[in-house]
Amino acid sequence: MALLPILTYPDPRLHKKAKPVAVVDDRVRRIVRDMAETMYDAPGVGLAATQVDVHERIVVIDVSEDKSDLLVLINPEITWKSDDTKVYEEGCLSVPGIYDEVARSSQITVRALNEKGEHYEFDAEGLLAVCVQHELDHLEGKVFVEYLSNLKQTRIKTKMRKLERQPA
């Protein structure tokens, strides 16, 4: 397993739309393992392949307190969203140190493949629903800050570019 470098906003690669995974094989399972290790190390609760410059429809999520409930979503799609929304404060591994409120559907139904290539479906609400919607946005080339005002987006881009220029 290996830690993968996480792209940071406003890197243009974060806006690439991910392609469907054709076959769940050892290569894809290795990507899943590396993404999970990267997410846990960051630490985060979700990571989309787009964030590690792999432009395939792969997401890993673990919203459990003890980090023992890894959810692997390959070729995920939201098949139903509730009309009611809930506002959560979101952050993102690709936008470190930035948190802001985003309104998302409060309940969703998701269909995906697991790491064995098997279809499954589940309902989500609360933090899991928010996380799934956030990560699936990444697969579409959208970062959560794009839900914010133009002024906030400009300020965040400026801040992120300054951080990029600072020596590590």
pLDDT tens for residues 73-94?
999 999 999 999 999 999 999 9
* H-only helix segments in 8-94: 26-41
- For the chain, domains (ranges, CATH) are 12-164 (3.90.45.10)
Confidence tier at 109 by pLDDT (50, 70, 90) = very high
Q: How many CB atoms lie within 10 A of CB 80?
A: 12
92 belongs to an annotated ligand binding site = yes
Helices (H), 55-149: 126-139
Our answer to whether residue 101 is catalytic in this structure is no
Q: pLDDT category, 151, cuts 50, 70, 90?
A: very high
Is 141 a residue whose pLDDT tops 90? yes
Query: Does the annotation list 15 as a binding residue?
Result: no
Q: What pLDDT, on the 0 to 100 scale, is given for residue 106?
A: 97
The confidence score (pLDDT) of residue 165 equals: 79
CA angle 11, 49, 113 (to 5 degrees): 155
Q: What is the pLDDT of residue 162?
A: 86
Query: Which of 56, 90, 115, 135 is flagged as catalytic?
Result: 135
Distances (CA, A) of 88 to 3, 72, 103, 157: 28, 23, 6, 21
**Residue 138 marked as a ligand binder:** yes
